[in-house]
Amino acid sequence: MPMIGDVRFVVEHIDNDRYEALARKRGWDGEDGMLDYAEHFEAAVYSVHPSLEKATAAAKKFLAAGKSTFGCCQIDQQRFERFMDDMHPEWETKDRYEVAMDGECIKCAA
């Protein structure tokens, strides 16, 4: 069970094979317009890591396989916290990073 203040790093992987399979299931014929049949987040797979370094390593490993739909992975740094007087704490994204095919990890707008 997470505690208030805990931090985690969530990597979003969008595998092209998985994305194409979802679009084909919905009628895509393999020509232009795959994005018209499925949203990228529907094909996303997430992994959770304790540090940015480990999350970046996982993203680089996925990208090295050459199956990324967009040629990058996103990493969200999340903190477990309550919003104002909310009694139910949640994971809130505080920072976002992008790891490119060349392995560079840059901070983006969250």
For 11-40, give one letter per residue: b (16+ CB within 10 A) or e.
Answer: bbbbbeebbbebbeeeebeeeeebeebbee
Q: Which helix (H) or strand (E) holds 83?
A: none
pLDDT tens string for the chain (110 positions)? 899 999 999 999 999 999 999 999 999 998 888 889 999 889 999 999 999 999 999 999 999 999 898 999 999 999 999 877 667 899 999 999 999 999 999 999 86
Amino acid at 15: D
For the chain, the domains span: 7-108
Q: Can you give the pTM of this predicted structure?
A: 0.88
